[in-house]
Amino acid sequence: MIETTKRSAAMEHPLFPGFLVEDIQTTGATIRTLRMGSGPPLLLLHGYPQTHVIWHKIAGRLAEHCTVILADLRGYGDSTKPDGGARHENYSFRAMARDQLEVMRHFGHERFFVAAHDRGARTAHPLCLDHPEAVRKVCFMDIVPTLRMYRDTSKEFATKYMWWFFLIQAAPLPEHMIGADLEFFLEQHFAMQNGTPGALTEEALREYRRCFCTPEAIHASCEDYRAAAEIDLEMDEADEKAGRKVEATILALWGSQGAIGKLWSVLDVWRQHANGTVEGRALDCGHYLAEEQPQEVLRELLRFFNDS
Q: How far is CA 192 from the centre of its chain?
A: 18
The angle at the Cα of 18, spanning 16 to 20, to the nearest 5 degrees, equals 90
Helices 231-242 and 93-106, axial angle in degrees (round to 10): 80
Our answer to whether residue 268 is catalytic in this structure is: no
φ, ψ (nearest 5 deg) of residue 65 = -120, -25
Considering only CA atoms, which of 58, 72, 61, 11 is closest in space to residue 37?
Answer: 61
Q: 67-71 and 30-36 as β-strands: parallel, antiparallel, unpaired?
A: antiparallel
Torsion of CA 3, 9, 11, 16, to 10 degrees: 100
C-beta separation of 174 from 167 below 8 A: yes
**CA–CA distance, 118 with 292 (Å, rounded to integer):** 14
Our answer to whether residue 118 is catalytic in this structure is: yes
Q: Of the listed 118, 232, 236, 239, which one is catalytic?
A: 118
Strand order in the sheet with 41-45: 4-6, 20-25, 30-36, 67-71, 41-45, 112-117, 135-141, 249-255, 278-283
Helix (H/G/I), strand (E/B), else coil: 10: helix
Task: List active site positions.
Answer: 118, 287
